[in-house]
Amino acid sequence: MYIIQSYSLAVLLCVVTMLCWGSWANTQKLASKEWGFPLFYWDYTLGVIILTLIFGFTLGSSGESGQAFIPNLAQASMNAIMLALLGGVIFNIANLLLVAAIDIAGMAIAFPIGIGIALVQGVLVNYMAAPDGNAVLLFAGVGLVTVAIIVDAIAYKRISQGAATTKGILISVAAGILMGFFYRFVAASMSSEFAVIESGKLTAYTAVFVFALGIFISNFLFNTFFMYKPISGSKVTYKDYFKQGTPKLHLIGILGGIIWCIGMLLNMIAAGEAGFAISYGLGQGATMVAAIWGVFIWKEFKNAPKGTNGLIALMFLLFAAGIGLIIMAKV
């Protein structure tokens, strides 16, 4: 299997993770006018699984280090498989809850609360489980990124037209707490040594594949609920998926899953050199990438009140400083 042996390359892969995790939602935005999110989400999960198989049979089965994709799956213990599956289940409900919270409270409130909690909690949980790097620099960087997310929320609130409800805020908190835990379960299923795989443990490639199966399987419970009991919008059915879906809409959804999963796989590969806490912290900086899309591509702040541009500039400055400290934590 392909592994990396350079911290600078690991950081580069984590930056790609940020780009992917902060960009996949653009595909949902492209499909939203014709395609309800629960229907889009089925194609998204298919895209995640497809990408894990492509990586598994290519990079995950090449080279002399580690263990090839199929042999690793064959020797995996039930405990490792269940941990990765559980990570997928937790991520799935967290992701769906976050979307529901955005529908209720608006992106200005739900996204910063959810991802802000996930960022801080996820780094803390992963660092406690596998301490790696300078804790002072790591958590100082996380603190700056968190402040950047708060500034992002203040800027978005200036253009938000809806008021947040208590229900939306509570769902955002629940989504953030769950999102902060999923990564640790996937990491716990993996071998701590990438070059020589521990008996019964998974490689980065097989762990993410099993994780993807957890998303897909749990989708029949969680996403079905959101299809028939939507937080907003109209109810949709499985019949609608086949009747309303065009090849273009299906491809957009699959592309969204592929983009997100590229980020997840590269992040797990990078963890071999960067450590899980640093990898996760850098990856969850995706909030700022999403902000870049909103500012420069979708022109969401075009008619924002005076002073908003200053908040946006401060947000990016804090973000850049925070990411710099997180990177320095392992140098």
Q: Average pLDDT for consecutive 10-residue bins of the chain (331 residues)?
A: 95 95 86 85 96 97 94 98 98 90 69 82 93 94 90 80 69 90 96 95 98 97 93 86 94 96 97 95 85 80 86 90 92 71
Q: What pLDDT, on a 0 to 100 scale, did the predictor assign at position 165?
A: 62
Going by the DSSP 8-state scheme, the letter that residue 203 receives in this structure is P
Q: What pLDDT, on a 0 to 100 scale, did the predictor assign at position 260?
A: 95
Q: Identify the sign of the CA torsion 118, 123, 124, 128.
A: positive
Domain boundaries, the chain: 7-129+163-275
Q: What pLDDT, on a 0 to 100 scale, did the predictor assign at position 161?
A: 61
Q: Name the residue among 322, 287, 24 with its Cα closest to residue 155.
A: 287
Q: Name the residue among 327, 324, 264, 216 with its Cα closest to residue 20.
A: 264
What's the burial of 140, exposed, middle or buried (CB within 10 Å: 0-12/13-18/19+)?
Answer: middle
Q: What pLDDT, on a 0 to 100 scale, did the predictor assign at position 289?
A: 85
Q: What pLDDT, on a 0 to 100 scale, did the predictor assign at position 152?
A: 82
In whole angstroms, what is the distance from residue 138 CA to residue 323 CA? 9
Q: What pLDDT, on a 0 to 100 scale, did the predictor assign at position 231?
A: 76
